[in-house]
Amino acid sequence: MGRFFKNLAFTTLVLVLVLAIAAGVGAIVFYNRTNLPDPNKDFQTNTSFIYFNDSKTKLGSLSVQNRQTISYEQMPKSIKEAAISAENRSFWEDQGISIGGIVRAAWTIARGGEMQGGSTITQQYIKILYLSQDRTMQRKLKELVLAVKMGKQVPKEDILAGYLNTIYFGRGAYGIQAAAKSYFNVDASKLTVPQSAVLASILNNPTLFDPSGGAKARERLLNRYRYVLDGMLEAGNITQAEHDEYSRKLPAFPEVPINNRWGGTNGYLLKMVQNELLDDGFTDSQINGGGLKVTTTFDPAAQKAAVATGQKYKKLAGSNAGKNGAKNLHPAIASVKVGTGEVLALYGGDDYITSTRSWALQARPAASTFKTYSVIAGMRNGFSLKSKLNGDTFTPQGDSVPIRNEFSEQYGDVTLQKATEDSINTAFVDMMTQIDNGPQAMLKAANDAGVPKGSGWDLNNRMPLGVAEVSPLDQATGYATIANEGKYVPSHVVAKVTDSSGKTLYTAKTTGKQTIQKDIAHDTTYALENVVNEGTGSAVSNLGYPVAGKTGTNGVKDDITSAWFVAYTRQISTAVMYVAGDSGNADLDPYAAPGDSTFFGGTYPARTWASYMKVAMKGLPSQDFPKPDKVNLSGKHYGNTQRETLRTPTPTPTPTPSETRTPTPEPTQPSTPSRPEPTQTSSEPEPTDTPSQPEPTDTPSQPEPTDTPRRPLPSPPKPTLPGIPGPSDGDDGATGQ
């Protein structure tokens, strides 16, 4: 028995040795037969071209490969040391591969993980120069063999120089010379140690670490930058004192002229396209050099009209504020195709190079345009458009500050329809107090329409007055959901992507989800249609198409800080917002037209909307909105229908305490907030209401940015601009309509 086990052990050992020798011989043969190939033809990256929605009109391009090769001697010592610290600290000692990295990658694969990327600088250079980006075992094995061969045949200095001349640094910059120009506007030879450490940090993931990406991107970059400095200290490249000084903060980033393709208004659109492509799963290298053809949703005629209209009214309103008034005035236009979510046009600034902030993507207080979501919440909780509400000044239970209308107007009992037409603040707050968890119900209605929660969305009964911050694009999307009979389709700017051979890589989905009951959407549209026909939005009633919409004017103390008009036809939903000042918090009243009592949403914002929509709607058929379904009056009933005649008793108004202005936080670089996933709801019938005659609208006067005291002056008739009638008396008020 003992002899048997001895023979078995000996046989096993012999087999293992034979297999090991065979594997070794095989590896040697594979190594010897694998030679360094000629560089890939793909090594020269291809420009990605971006087109308007006709697939013919060029919008711009992303990354014509921007590279200027320099010699190893021209590269500063600091960038060589920083790159090694960031990417491959054993570069000078290894044989082109990292055994530790290979073991980690093998362990990950063995556990079912994905194929890991190249580790060493040599491997990364091999992959760029000779191989594809495929994550396959065959490609990985070839990369390892070629890296070892290159490590033996090519001097380390040449490998490092080639790597630093070819690697992508973001901003369309390939190689260290282009990167130095793109980020610091200097030649590579002039880079300082901190600047070199920043560039070495960025090359790991140019999108993630681009300092222009906002506060979060800078925070990520700072952490990576400190990691690189730690490695440089460990290698003896810098002293402890230098390390401590450099680690305190990132170096200054000067104003660098961006590639001309980003100039003008198209730069904002290109940035949106780039960001959306990343969200859709495309990589930096594909977007900025993959030879893609990207067809966007932007309509060339609509975009041209948005820019021309925005600039026209910016100049016109700016002239009211003096010689340089237009400089600090920021009109914004966002236009979405109803039913598909396609962004047709966007105007948020005149030149991306001058300022990268797009006001069309910047969230600001939505004022009374937010009341629309109150209408939805009310009908979901038993109210109809004929429900009676309190139109007079009153102080809600548990509150110490009265709710007022603009100019302290008293309306008596009003229907929800009338309250919507004339944007009566007290009526909407009254309704919120009668709904169980009213603010939460309103927030849900906004989210279901596709509006993401943002700053100022505090849950209180004053939510309808619009301190919640929303961007024009999000408001256009939210109103498009209502126009689409309650079916939400996310807004998007990329329609289709093909590669250089014409193969389709991506097509946008334009199917929607029923998130607001169909009948409630119909009745909400009916209410908003009467805002245009009978109420504060009459400035756009001569468009020649059925229009439903809402005005909005936000006030802080005695200043108007944002003014809105958001409205839609059956085909297009468009939001217009005006703000002023560097942070968008300055008073708009100096820009009001002669004869206008203040910068209401029914003045310049409505006129801007009408002027743009005349072009955007050209050639489209006139389509009526669906008839109202009389929600909670006939057919399907929601909530407690006994609330039809409820009204909060009007207590004796209390004196309004003096208030201090609540500052609005300074906007940040635009970014698209993550959208809420709307809740699926059923489709049902909804209400009609007989429109009340329009009355002068009124807005709150109190010590909060939600309803703010206004000048106790009557609102004189508004002048009519050529071709576009002015609004009726009694338009919006601060934090009101």
Beta bridge partners of 707: 704
Q: Measured on CA atoms in the order 362, 171, 297, 263, is the torsion positive or negative?
A: positive
Using pLDDT thresholds of 50, 70 and 90, give the confidence band for residue 397. confident
How crowded is residue 322: how many other Cβ atoms within 10 Å of its Cβ?
10
Query: How many whole angstroms separate alpha carbon 445 and alpha carbon 634?
Result: 22
Residue 311, judged by CB atoms within 10 A of its CB (0-12, 13-18, 19+), counts as middle
For the cut 50, the answer to whether the pLDDT of residue 714 exceeds it is no
Mean pLDDT in residue range 399-421: 94
Angle between helices 193-202 and 77-87 (to 10 degrees): 40
Among candidates 206, 232, 235, which has minimal Cα distance to 221?
206
Among candidates 364, 453, 363, 372, which has minimal Cα distance to 419?
372
Using pLDDT thresholds of 50, 70 and 90, give the confidence band for residue 608. very high
Q: pLDDT tens-digit profile of 629-647?
A: 999 986 667 876 445 444 4
Higher confidence at residue 62 or residue 489? 489
Residue 500, pLDDT score: 84
Using a pLDDT cut of 70, give the percent of the chain over it.
75
Residue 485, judged by CB atoms within 10 A of its CB (0-12, 13-18, 19+), counts as buried
- The two tokens of residue 436 are 């169980």
For the cut 80, the answer to whether the pLDDT of residue 415 exceeds it is yes
Lowest mean pLDDT among 50-54, 333-337, 450-454: 450-454
CA Rg, the chain, in Å? 31
Query: How many whole angstroms separate alpha carbon 729 and alpha carbon 715?
Result: 6
Residue 664, pLDDT score: 38
pTM of the model: 0.65
Query: How many whole angstroms separate alpha carbon 534 and alpha carbon 482?
Result: 20
Q: pLDDT tens-digit profile of 281-291?
A: 999 889 987 88
How crowded is residue 215: how many other Cβ atoms within 10 Å of its Cβ?
9
Query: How many whole angstroms separate alpha carbon 335 and alpha carbon 360?
Result: 10
For the cut 90, the answer to whether the pLDDT of residue 172 exceeds it is no
Residue 68, pLDDT score: 79
Q: Is 66 helix (H, G, I), strand (E, B) or coil?
A: strand
Query: How many whole angstroms separate alpha carbon 35 and alpha carbon 12?
Result: 36
Residue 727, pLDDT score: 32
Mean pLDDT in residue range 399-403: 91
Q: Name the residue with tokens 């600001």.
A: 364
Residue 699, pLDDT score: 38
List, as one string, the DSSP characters of 573-603. EEEEEEEESTTS-S-SGGGPPTT-SS--TTT
Residue 135, pLDDT score: 52
> What's at 95, amino acid-wise?
Q
Residue 26, pLDDT score: 46
Query: How many whole angstroms separate alpha carbon 363 and alpha carbon 360?
Result: 8
Contact 358, 343 (CB under 8 A): no
Residue 654, pLDDT score: 38
Residue 670, pLDDT score: 38
Q: Is 485 helix (H, G, I), strand (E, B) or coil?
A: coil
Mean pLDDT in residue range 622-626: 97
For the cut 70, the answer to whether the pLDDT of residue 542 exceeds it is yes
Query: How many whole angstroms separate alpha carbon 531 and alpha carbon 726?
Result: 14
Highest mean pLDDT pick, 1-10, 328-337, 631-640, 653-662: 328-337
Residue 721, pLDDT score: 33
Q: Helices marked H in 203-259 — which ranges? A: 206-209, 215-234, 240-247
Query: How many whole angstroms separate alpha carbon 77 and alpha carbon 73?
Result: 9
Q: pLDDT tens-digit profile of 469-515?
A: 999 999 999 999 999 999 999 999 999 999 988 999 999 999 999 99
Higher confidence at residue 230 or residue 649? 230
Using pLDDT thresholds of 50, 70 and 90, give the confidence band for residue 676. very low
Residue 716, judged by CB atoms within 10 A of its CB (0-12, 13-18, 19+), counts as exposed
366: left (phi over 0), alpha (psi -120 to 50) or beta: alpha
For the cut 90, the answer to whether the pLDDT of residue 330 exceeds it is yes
Residue 127, pLDDT score: 81
Q: pLDDT tens-digit profile of 198-219?
A: 999 999 999 999 998 888 999 9
Angle between helices 371-380 and 425-434 (to 10 degrees): 40
Residue 629, pLDDT score: 94
Lowest mean pLDDT among 126-140, 146-160, 476-490, 713-727: 713-727
Residue 288, pLDDT score: 86
Query: How many whole angstroms separate alpha carbon 356 and alpha carbon 343?
Result: 19
For the cut 50, the answer to whether the pLDDT of residue 104 exceeds it is yes
Query: How many whole angstroms separate alpha carbon 260 and alpha carbon 431?
Result: 53
- For the chain, which domains are there? 64-257 (1.10.3810.10), 303-645 (3.40.710.10)
Highest mean pLDDT pick, 455-464, 564-573, 593-602: 564-573
Contact 489, 511 (CB under 8 A): yes
For the cut 50, the answer to whether the pLDDT of residue 669 exceeds it is no
Residue 689, pLDDT score: 38
Using a pLDDT cut of 90, give the percent of the chain over it.
62
Residue 153, pLDDT score: 86
For the cut 80, the answer to whether the pLDDT of residue 266 exceeds it is yes
Using pLDDT thresholds of 50, 70 and 90, give the confidence band for residue 709. very low
Average pLDDT, the chain: 82
- The two tokens of residue 138 are 């065959």
For the cut 70, the answer to whether the pLDDT of residue 657 exceeds it is no
Residue 535, pLDDT score: 92
Beta bridge partners of 403: 394
Query: How many whole angstroms separate alpha carbon 5 and alpha carbon 9?
Result: 6
Highest mean pLDDT pick, 375-379, 675-679, 689-693: 375-379
For the cut 80, the answer to whether the pLDDT of residue 544 exceeds it is yes
Q: Residue 517: which residues within 8 A CB-CB, separation 6 or more? A: 380, 486, 638, 681, 682, 683, 684, 686
Among candidates 495, 518, 491, which has minimal Cα distance to 506?
495
